Structures are given as C-alpha cells and as structure tokens.
Structure 1
C-alpha cells in the first residue's frame, strides 16, 4: 500500500498524469504492488505561487525539469528492490513524460501496519491481522 506524492516544476495535467503512471507502473513491476493499489497526490508548481528548490548535490546536474517523488510504504523491501524501483521510475519518467533521469529525485519512507488507515478511521491492516 504505497502512498505517493509527486511534485514537479512547470507541469501541466498531462505531464503529471504521465509521471504518476510512470511511478505506479514501476511500483507494480519492481515491487509487485497490486495494480489497483493506486494512491497518489500529483502537484505541479508554476514558480509564481509555488516552486521547487534544487541543487547539484553529489554532482547531479538538476534543472527546471526537477521531479520529486516521495513514496511512503510498509517496511520490508531489500536495498536491491529499492534500487530497481528507483532505476525503473527514472526510465519510465523519461519514456512517459520526457523527464531527464537526472531530474528524478526519489525518497522512500517506510512504516508499519499500524501506520495506515484506508478510510472510516479504521486501521484495516491491524484488523485483518487480528491485532
């Protein structure tokens, strides 16, 4: 059950949709996320009322095509699975949205079963596990 937030500079609806599709397809392909497990917040920043800041940290030459992808998901994926996910997101963001892979910045935050309520104020994962 990943929750994804994508923030992109100068992104219209079509580009945001393409980026969302890229991240979702990468999650399905690399981590086996169910195709209907699709929870995303997509935000475009125009530079007037909102913007994104970036630098060239670790020698990566980012520019106005920057895309931040924040993924919150249950813990338990291996470093190799995460590396495959990052690589596939960058590949698909380039293929679907024309985003240069150097501009794809991904973070993963992990949590536990008790950290999710999918509606109705219920911790569904805890209830399903009988906890």
Structure 2
C-alpha cells in the first residue's frame, strides 16, 4: 500500500490525473501492488501561492515540466525492483504527458508495518492481537 505524493508546476487537472495513473500503473506492473490499492495526493503548483524549486543535479537538466514523485511504502523491495519502478514511472509519464524522463524525480521512503493506520485509529498491518489485516 504505497502512499504517493506528486507535485507538478502549472499543471492542469487532466495532466495531474495522467501523472497519478502513470505512477499507479508502474507500481502495479513492477511491484505487484493491487490495482485498486491507490492512495495519492496530487498537487499542482501555480508559481504564485506555491511553487517548485529545482536545479540540474547530476547533469540532468530540469524545466517547468519537472515532476516530483514521493512514494512511501513498507520496506522489503529488492533494489532491482525499485530500479524497474523508477524506469517505468519515467516511461509512462513521458508516454502519457510528454514530460521528458530527465524531468521525473522519484524518491522512495520505506517504513515498517506498524507505521500505517488506514483509519479507526488502528495499525491494521500490525495490530496488538498480532493478526494483520490484508497484505
């Protein structure tokens, strides 16, 4: 159950939706996340009330089409699966929005099962009785 935040500059709702779909599809394809297991926050920045800052780190140029994707998920995925995820996100974002792959920045933060609550004030993946709900 990854939690995804996507930030893009000057984005129309259709582009935000395409970005969210691209990331979800990449998670399903590369990590086996269930297709209906979507938790996303999609934020468009207008440059006035909110904005993005970026430079050309590691020789990768950035411009106003830059997209930041932050994924929080439970630990345990192998490095090669994460690399496949990054590649697939860049491919799908490019395919669906025209954003150049070098303008897609992805970060992954991992945590433990007890670090999640899906509601009711419970840690469904790590309940006190030891019987986790779901996968």
What are the ranges of 5 or more consecutive residues in structure 2 without an aligned counterpart? Answer: none
Runs of 4+ in 1 over 4 A off after TM superposition: none
Comparing both structures, which one devotes a greater share of its residues to helix? 1
Matches within 5 A, 1:102-117: 102-117=102-117
Provide the rounded CA distance (Å) in 2 between the counterparts of 1:118 and 1:98: 34
Show the counterpart of 1:32. Answer: 32
How far 1:130 moved relative to its partner? 2.7
With normalisation by structure 2, the TM-score equals 0.94
Show the counterpart of 1:91. Answer: 91
Matches within 5 A, 1:67-86: 67-86=67-86
SS of residue matched to 2:15:
helix
How far 1:99 moved relative to its partner? 1.1
What are the ranges of 5 or more consecutive residues in structure 1 without an aligned counterpart? Answer: none
Matched pairs, number: 131
Show the counterpart of 1:10. Answer: 10
Provide the rounded CA distance (Å) in 2 between the counterparts of 1:112 and 1:129: 14
